[in-house]
Amino acid sequence: MGTFCGFDPRNLLICCILLFLSSSTAQLSFAAKTRHFKWAVEYMFWAPDCQEHVVMGINGQFPGPTIRAKAGDTIAIELTNKLHTEGVVIHWHGIRQLGTPWADGTASISQCAINPGETFLYRFKVDKAGTYFYHGHLGMQRSAGLYGSLIVDVAEGEKEPFHYDGEFNLLLSDWWHESVHEQEVGLSSNPFRWIGEPQSLLINGRGQYNCSLAAQFSNGTTEQCKLRGNEQCAPQILHVLPNKTYRIRIASTTALASLNLAVANHKMVVVEADGNYVQPFEVEDMDIYSGESYSVLLTTNQDPSKNYWVSVGVRGRKPQTPQGLTILNYRPTSASKLPLTPPPVTPRWDDYNHSKSFSNKILALMGSPKPPRSFDRRIFLLNTQNRISGFTKWAINNVSLVLPATPYLGSIKFGLKGAFDQNSPPENFPGDYDVMKPALNPNSTHGNGVYLLGLNTTVDIILQNANALAADVSEIHPWHLHGHDFWVLGYGEGKFSEKDEKKLNLKNPPLRNTAVIFPFGWTALRFVADNPGAWAFHCHIEPHLHMGMGVVFAEGVHRVGRIPNEALACGLTGKRFLKPTKN
pLDDT of residue 310: 98
If pLDDT is split at 50, 70 and 90, which confidence band does 442 have? low
Which pLDDT score, from 0 to 100, does residue 577 have? 59
pLDDT of 25 > 60? The answer is no
Q: Region 424-448: what's the mean pLDDT?
A: 85
Residue of higher predicted confidence among 252 and 434: 252
For residue 418, which amino acid is it?
G
- The per-residue pLDDT for 451 is 98
Whether 127 has a pLDDT exceeding 70, the answer reads: yes
| pLDDT at residue 580 tops 70 | no
- Per-residue confidence band for 21, with pLDDT thresholds at 50, 70 and 90: very low
- What are the tens digits of pLDDT across the range 503-535? 999 999 999 999 999 999 999 999 999 999 999
End-to-end CA distance of the chain: 57
What is the value of pTM for the model shown?
A: 0.93
Residue 381, pLDDT > 80, answer: yes
Residue-level pLDDT at 497: 93
How much is the average pLDDT of 296-302? 98
pLDDT for the residue numbered 440 = 67
Question: How much is the pLDDT for 22?
Answer: 43
Of 218, 207, 210, give the one whose Cα is nearest residue 342: 218
Mean pLDDT confidence for 257-279: 98
**Residue 154, Cβ neighbours under 10 Å: how many?**
19
Residue from 268, 65, 71 nearest 164 by CA: 268
For 75-104, what is the mean pLDDT?
A: 98
- Measured CA distances, 532 to 243, 363, 401, 529 (Å): 48, 28, 22, 8
**CB under 8 Å to 173, separation ≥6 — which residues?**
63, 145, 147, 201, 202, 205, 252, 253, 254, 255
444-465 pLDDT, tens digit per residue, is 899 999 999 999 999 999 999 9
pLDDT given at position 579 = 53
Per-residue burial over 177-214, b if 16 or more Cβ lie within 10 Å, else e, is eeebeebbebbeeeeeeebeebbbbbbbbbbbbebbbb
Tens of pLDDT, residue by residue over 193-225, are 999 999 999 999 999 999 999 998 987 778 999
Residue-averaged pLDDT of the chain: 92
- What does R_g of the chain's alpha carbons equal in angstroms? 23
Which pLDDT tens digit goes with each residue over 173-183?
999 999 999 99
> Among the listed ranges 222-236, 274-288, 324-338, 435-449, which one has the minimum average pLDDT value?
435-449
